[in-house]
Structures are given as structure tokens and as C-alpha cells.
Structure 1
């Protein structure tokens, strides 16, 4: 069979207006860079200032764990961009509780829900009127592959992300008639500064070397491709789902996890 699909243009997002929540570190930073280098105008959020943002990207300080922070960021982002074509919900917080789910306090549960679920619900609600005016609107939400195999020390986090994935599926059905596509990305073990900090915390709590923790999480279960992924691996999938190359894809969840996802 002849593949008639055109090559991916290097500036495929030229003129597109992109909002990325949590885009100064890890996966979020890679997503911002991917869109900016492909010609998009990007506005992103963080709670603190950041250096070395790519050309074409602008940072707005906001705490997306609060309704007020989300409202302020959404309003300012739309003002700076003059609308929106792509919304990427990348903000996330995975704070392990080594005592397990049975002793996880309410504070961690509420924090996980506010950051990992409600920030996206509130922000999408704020930008939906603008997205409905776009001829090629897309929403991409960053969940986690761990919703399939939740760990006790992160059950509050994975429960919030599971709810996010469920929310995205329902939102896709609602927004399809308006021409707005909604998809979810499920990253597996991605080597980011946040994961490195979590590994250090678990190693200290259990009095074991960090190398032992890395070996455990890459072998339980084993990652078929043998190593953690890169933030850029996730960003590439996000870019595809947000592009016109994925014009007939909505309401799906796609794993980028080195082969861990169970097959059908």
C-alpha cells in the first residue's frame, strides 16, 4: 500500500494559539517547546518564574490549584492570544504518601483533586467559548498510565487522573458537534525532575539507594523498551493529537509508556 500522507511540515502550527497549563518543567516544558518551535504562539502557566522559555512562548504566573488562579490565567491567556485554538492541560502534582492509601490524609486527596482534575475542568470551561470559534480546535489532557496499575502511595494522584480521563471522554462527546476534539495522553515512566524528586523521597523513606528505587519502578512491571521515556516523547504525541493529522480522532486515550499498556 502506498502511503499518501504528506510529510509533517516543520511549521505546522504557525498562527495557532496554544494554551498549556504547567509548562515550565518536565512534560509541560517539552510540550511548550514543541508547539513554539513549530510556529505557534503559546501562553503557559507556572506558580514561579522560569527562565529559557522558547521564542514564541509567554509565561503567566498563576496557582491553578485555586478557582481564582484558574480564572485569572484563563482570562489573561485569552487576552494575550486573542482567542485559542489548542488547549493542553499538562499541570499535575504527584506527591507520594509512603504510608499508603489507608493513611493518606484528606489534605493530600483534596490537593490531588484540585491540581490534577479540577484545574483542567475549570480552565477548559473558561476557554471553551473561544475554542468553539476556532476552525481547528483541540483539547489534550495529560493523565497517566498508572491509572491502570495504581500504586498505594500515589492512589490519591492516580484516582484524580482516572477521573480526569473519564471527564475527557465525556467532554469529547459533548464538544464533537462543535468541532472541538478532546483526547487524553497516558504517559508511563517519564524521567522528569518531579519523578527524580519522588524517587529520592521514596529512597530516603525506605533507607535504600535511589538506584534501587529506579530499578524497582522500571522492573515492576518491566518496561518492554527497557528505560524511562523522555518528556519529548510525550510532547510529540500531544502535537500529533492537536494537529490536523488527527482530524478524525477524538474521545480516545493514547499511551506513551514504553510498551506497558495491556493489549487487547
Structure 2
């Protein structure tokens, strides 16, 4: 299937590791030009080099998405270098599960406002695109109460609500908006890798809940994101795509 992404101009936040890195690389493999950001400049530089090796244009910068001014400046800079924006993917998360004020504030400023500010900053460019698309990364923790109940699960649920509202509000402009809710996703250096090393009982319990007998991979999540952002999904908007290997049991109508 031709996803129609050759030459597309795509921004992905939090895109040097795990799911975000896989998303950026999959867009590049489809011929899209990509702008990325993360907090570590060295990681950004190495990721940009890897993306360019696929024969596409790629740019990046060190950005903390919780810093609204820095995030907006990055969007403008990437739009200038890419000559526009067709797709934005909001991927960064604070991964905060504590019940203290700081955890709630971090999750709100990073996950929620990082998504809202990315969309707002990109909107003038998306409105000029003939295939504008927004994909926000939520989580199965936004659908069900699990060990991440609290700030993480709450704001992941809010991101689904926000994005589905965007879909309705922007449909007449031809801009689509969807979310992807990954299930447990394992990769070296990721949260489940850390839990496996430091809390093996929790890891064992979580793994046992996966009916497939394994956790997902970043590439499996990226495939869903890139499809939803592509022209192949031109009539899909306002959808929350759960990619969890049947982990969650709630029926989604």
C-alpha cells in the first residue's frame, strides 16, 4: 500500500528513543522529511544523521516541550527549514505516576500542554497543507485504571478527549486528528526495561497480563502512527487506535 507520504513534512516530538525514534524513522522510510526534538542534543544529532541516511531531509533541536516558548520557536524553525508542515506527532511524556503536586504539574505541562502547544504552533502551517494530520500518543492507561492511575493515566485520557475534539473542530479544514494508545512497549532503555531490572515482580506481573505472552515493540506502535498520519487513512479522524495485543479488556465501540 502506498501511504502517500513521499515528500511530506513531519514533526515528531520526543523522537530520539523508543516509540518516538521508531516513528521518525518510519516516516523517513516512507520518504517523508522530518523535524525532531528531544532534550539531549547529542541524541538529536545522531538521530538526524540516521534519518538523513535514508535519503530525506531531517532537522532537529534540543527542546523541553514543557517550555512553551521553546516549543513554539522549534515549530517555527522546523516549518521554515521544511518549507511547511503536513503532520505533527505529539509523543513526549513525563511518565509521572506519583500523587504529589510536582508529578501532577510535570504531567500537565509536558503531556497535556506539550500536545496543545505543539498543535497551536503548527496550526497555521497545517491549515496550508492539503493533507494536514495530527497524531497524539496516549496510552492504554488512559482507558483503564492500572498502576499508572494518577497524573499519567488522567492526562493520557484527557489527550484523547482533546484530540477527538480537534477532529470535530478541524474536519471542515481538511485536518485530521487521531490518537494512538500503545499497550506495554518494551525497548532497551525504556520504562519497562527499567522496571524489569529494578522491580522484577512488577515486570513479571505486567508481562503475565499480556495475552500474546509479550510486550509490543516501538516499531509496532510506529506503524499505527504513520498509517493514521498518511493519505491512506484520509477518512479516519477522531479515532483512538489501541495497539496493545489485546491487553485491555474494555470493549471500545
Specify if TM > 0.5.
Answer: yes
Which aligned pairs between 1:48-127 and structure 2 lie closer than 5 A? 48-49=40-41, 50=43, 51-52=46-47, 53-55=50-52, 56=56, 57-97=58-98, 104-127=99-122
Offset at residue 83 of structure 1 (A): 0.8
Per the alignment, do residues 153 and 243 of structure 1 end up closer, same or farther by CA in structure 2, a change over 3 Å counting?
A: closer
The TM-score, its normalising length taken from structure 1, stands at 0.86
Structure 2 gaps, min length 5:
none
- Aligned partner (choices 25, 28, 33) of residue 36 of structure 1: 28
Quick check: 1:194 aligned with 2:195? no
Matches of 2:176 and 2:159 in 1, distance apart? 16
Aligned partners of 2:228 and 2:236 also within 8 Å: yes
Structure 1 gaps, min length 5:
1-7, 98-103, 204-209
Matches of 2:147 and 2:18 in 1, distance apart? 24
Q: What does residue 205 of structure 2 align with?
A: 216
Q: What does residue 3 of structure 1 align with?
A: none
Deviates more, 1:49-58 or 1:238-247: 49-58
Q: Secondary structure in 1 aligned to 2:155?
A: helix
Q: What does residue 38 of structure 2 align with?
A: 46
Corresponding residue pairs, total? 241
Q: What does residue 247 of structure 1 align with?
A: 234
Offset at residue 129 of structure 1 (A): 1.0
Offset at residue 263 of structure 1 (A): 2.7
Matches of 1:90 and 1:174 in 2, distance apart? 22
Matches of 1:44 and 1:189 in 2, distance apart? 24
Query: Whose radius of gyration is greater, 1 or 2?
Result: 1
Aligned partners of 2:192 and 2:203 also within 8 Å: no
Let me know the Cα RMSD of the aligned residues.
1.7
Quick check: 1:263 aligned with 2:251? yes
- Aligned partner (choices 225, 233, 239) of residue 220 of structure 2: 233
Q: What does residue 25 of structure 1 align with?
A: 17
Offset at residue 72 of structure 1 (A): 1.5
